[in-house]
A and B are shown apart, each in its own frame.
Chain A
Amino acid sequence: MSEKKKTGIIGLIVLTLIILVPLVLSIIPVGQAGSQDLDGVFLEMPADSIQNCIMNTDSMRYHHWEILLGMRERVVRYGIREEHGLHSCRDCHTSRERFCNQCHNAVSMDPDCFGCHYYP
């Protein structure tokens, strides 16, 4: 009986480890390749006279897509056209190749905004 119990406990531990391994590995950064790619990203910044976007740079970097989604909802569903939108991004960030796609390619993002919306 105790033999059976012991085997069961060992089996349980092994199973837990197997489940945990990919979770742990996904948290730990593996190798240097990924970070090198991100360091090598070249973003074409707008002129020095423009200091901040509509929010500070860090917030824009992480939340620009949420801002755009919110604008999209207000424009498409309610007809509230505000001063800023995807059309005003291209006033400063003039090139999609040299700005948007740099990060999107590095993290394998493929937003389909530009399939329909004009961005040079």
Chain B
Amino acid sequence: MNRRDFLKATGGTIVAVGSGAYAFRFMTQTNTRFRHAGLPEGQTQKLYGMVIDLTKCEPGCTACMDACRRENNIAEPGAEENHERWDIHWIRKVRMESGVGEVHREREIPLLCNHCDNPPCAQVCPVQATYKRHDGIVIVDQHRCIGCRYCMIACPYNARYFNFKDHHADWTNPDHPKRSHGVAEACNLCAHRLDVGQKPACVEACEQIGCGAIMVGDLNNPTEGELHNPEDLVSRFIAENPVQRIRDDLGTEPKVYYYGL
């Protein structure tokens, strides 16, 4: 065996043993902390979406906004610590105009985080505090948020807000945390309620006043797993009606659908 062959054999052995050991360790490690949590047996992956039926939405009604404030411990507008300059609306009503002259019309539409399938806010987040959950909800991990506000700039719907102040309002819902000052936040589609099988607060409030304009459900599964009556299936509604999405041209693939926009 000459020197060249010897070096080749040695090098080859080192590479093979090293990579083998690394692969073995990688495959057999049991640290599941950062691994994606699998679904329970017999469940399909959900993809939550929302439909807002503007033909049922009443102008001037603020039931969804009030319910959202109560659910998420956001201080009432006009309170001393909640000046309108830093007021937070997870869902808000926006006045939209279309047409000129005789076809001109105005309407108020509820606007909230659109839970984009391709969320710009999550793309720009430098610490991955904003991210898309496996069921499609775009959510902020306020423990990680550093308050850089890139997501507020990136969001094309202006649906994200920044906590300029600490919240000192009363606890209207002790089961849901407040946010401390210096973090960004947005609608999380009431993930804490959806996880335990309840409807989001705005949906519930809209049904209670008899409008039923907001619907939330599974876009993946058209037949079951809905939170609503069988005739209110979200995916069926989207398939059967001419629904629109706001700023669909941006390619963010929002999951909030509007009917009668």
Listed in ascending order, the chain A residues whose CB lies under 8 Å from chain B are 70, 72-74, 76-81, 87, 112, 115-118
**A112–B196 CA distance with the chains assembled, in angstroms:** 26
Please measure, in the bound complex, the distance between the C-alpha atom of A117 and the C-alpha atom of B178, giving whole angstroms.
6
User: B: which residues have CB within 8 A of A?
Assistant: 33, 36-37, 131, 133-135, 137, 139, 141-143, 166, 171, 174-175, 177-180, 191-192, 195-196
Q: How far is the CA of A82 from the CA of B34 in the complex (A)?
A: 18
Please, which residue of chain A has its CB at the minimum distance from the CB of B163?
A116
**How far does the alpha carbon of A83 sit from the alpha carbon of B196 in the complex, in Å?**
11
Q: Report Cα–Cα, A77/B129, bound state, in Å.
A: 9
* Alpha-carbon distance A78/B135, docked complex (angstroms): 9
Contacts of A118 in B (CB 8 A): 171, 174-175, 177
Chain B binding surface SS class: loop
Known: A76-B143, A87-B175. A115 touches B166 (CB 8 A): yes
- Are B177 and A79 interface neighbours, CB within 8 A? no
A88: min CB distance to chain B, Å: 11
Which residues does chain A contribute within 8 Å of B37, judged by CB atoms? 74, 78, 80
- Report the Cα distance A81→B192, complex, angstroms: 8
Q: Is the Cβ of B33 less than 8 Å from the Cβ of A79?
A: no
Bound-state Cα–Cα, A102 to B166, Å: 25
Identify which of A72, A112, A118 gathers the most chain B CB atoms within 10 Å of its CB: A118
Complex: how many Å from CA A81 to CA B196?
Answer: 8
Which residues in B have their C-beta under 8 angstroms from that of A79?
133-135, 137, 191, 195
- What is the CA–CA distance of A72 and B142 in the complex, to the nearest angstrom? 11
With A70-B33, A76-B141, A79-B135 as given contacts, are A116 and B191 in contact (CB-CB < 8 Å)?
A: no
Whether A117 lies near B134 (C-beta < 8 A) is no
A74: B residues at CB distance < 8 A: 37
| Set of chain B residues within 8 Å of A72, measured between Cβ atoms | 143
Q: Which one of B139, B141, B143 has the highest number of Cβ atoms from chain A below 10 Å of its Cβ?
A: B143
A-B pairs with beta carbons under 8 Å apart, 26 shown:
A72-B143, A73-B33, A76-B139, A76-B143, A77-B141, A78-B36, A78-B37, A78-B133, A78-B134, A79-B133, A79-B134, A79-B135, A79-B191, A81-B196, A87-B175, A112-B180, A115-B166, A115-B178, A115-B180, A116-B177, A116-B179, A116-B180, A117-B177, A118-B171, A118-B174, A118-B175
Shortest CB distance A46–B (Å)? 19
Nearest-neighbor residue (CB-CB) of A78 within chain B: B37
Taking CB atoms, residues of chain A closer than 8 Å to B143 are 72, 76
Closest-CB distance, B167 to chain A (whole angstroms): 8
Closest chain A residue to B142 by CB distance? Answer: A116
A20, B141: Cα distance in complex, Å = 42
Measured in the bound complex, the distance between the Cα atoms of B123 and A4 in whole Å is 63
Residues of A within 8 A of B33 (CB): 70, 73
Residues of A within 8 A of B179 (CB): 116
Inter-subunit contact B195/A81 (CB<8 Å)? yes
Q: In the docked arrangement, what's the CA distance between A77 and B130, Å? A: 10
